[in-house]
Structure 1
Amino acid sequence: MGLRGDRILTMPIDQAIRDGRYERSSSRLSVCRVDCCTFLVELDGALIVFDPWLHDPARYAPLWWSRHGEPLIIDALPIPDLLLISQDAPDHCDPRAIDALPRHVPVGAPATVSKRLARSGFDTASLSPGDVRSVGPCAVTVLRGSHPGVLRQNGYLVERNGVAVLFLADTAATPELTEALKSLRRPPDLLMISSTGFALRFYGQIVMGPEEAAVMVAQVGARDVVPMRTLMHEVTGGPIGRLIVKAFIPPDEAFRRFEDALRERTDGVRVHRLERGER
């Protein structure tokens, strides 16, 4: 999908990653899925990388051996104009992928990530919920997201020359996020949201479900939506998965339920389902 002129157009989906490399778009707004919450977004000529994860395994508690379900089709991150990281977890903040980037790339991230990358020589901005900052070529508004009981995370409203994208990573539908969304000055041109209902034993639900995501889309008023998939659709099998994972809605079912719930709540929302490498 892409944006030309002053409005969103539902464009034919094409392949943005060829032979392991990302090909830039001529649209004012374009969105390319790498995998999970890793997306390449072009906003009025500026390339933004969200939540990079390229290398397996991603080791973090309580999931110590997370992997992509199949090899990625991109060899390395393209050099962006802005890198935004929602949370301090290796499936959203891959140190090997980031270390390969030039140090002049501006980075916006939670404080723990920002401090670590600053020590590596990056130009970082430490971002907290409620912040409204210029980071690199964009204006960034930070919203509070969360895996309740597991990890705090940031959502980002990113604006450039009148074009706006709202990236909500893989947060749960928390009261704090719902309240923060009420303060948005206008609907974003595009909303990126996860809706797998992922729940862990001993922790509970940490990613919003399809129906919760539909309510949030209606609240925000975005006319174009890109559903994101979290890693656990790839790794729920095996003894560790059976022990830890309490609930997870498979991608096809999550997508269908999300669309059905949207139809009940609002008209005219365009949902763009992207496969790896597509935009």
Structure 2
Amino acid sequence: MASNGRVAGKVALITGGGKGLGEATAHLLAREGAKIAVSDLDTKAGKAVAAAINKAGGEAIFIQQDVTDETRWPKVIAQVKKKLGGLHVLVNSAGIAIFGSAEDTPLDDWRNVLSVNLDAVYLGTQHGIKAMKDGVGSIINISSAMGLVADANLAAYNASKGGVRLFSKSAALHCGQSGYKVRVNSVHPGYIWTPMVSGALATIGDVDEGRKTLDAKHPIGYVGEPNDVAYGILYLASDESKFVTGSELVIDGGYTAQ
């Protein structure tokens, strides 16, 4: 692992770090010198990511976490500080997607999506600010291209990811006006080939045909890979982005340019 990498000396907590964007981000930040706390509800997946980082020469721990549980957040952050020596980067990456329009989305589905995608980002950001406000920190909230434009069949997802975008700006303003050296930004991926996307396609039809449909939605001609987003997160986690806060980094293959 890099001893003089782009985030050398930093400690990063990554929620949803057991798979998809979180997994890719954990590996990339570790290769660039950060100590990694992998947080996930899925113990098996999260432990596997932490073990792989350690095997490759990095330093990582796994912490089981339900990101919607307010009582877990201070305990998780305290554990990160105790075991890894601090906290400098928080990536709120955990998320879910459920199909449904404004007319037919059940209230339970609506609440579930907003709880994981928005409430948990609020909780993580709130506790992250408290943990980092006496030092220097970067909070990176994963929104979506669907937080900028809408889809008729993703009502709850649109609402949650749009909420992440504006909440992140509000948090960035609060930190700046409070004199904290904590930056808060949102990242807006287009469709990225992750287990969440392939799994969602499997529930509604043929996965291969679904991927072709998603490829065609992007002017660049294909869906993204997790590392396409992870490199953007790396930039926001590093000191290279020290003048970037309250911003939205769009990584969507041209999806929202249309």
TM class, shorter-length? 0.3 to 0.5
Higher helix share: 2
- The structure richer in strand per residue is 1
TM-score norm. by structure 1 comes to: 0.40
Question: Greater relative contact order: 1 or 2 (C-alpha under 8 angstroms, separation 6 or more)?
Answer: 2
Query: Which TM-score applies when normalising by structure 2?
Result: 0.43
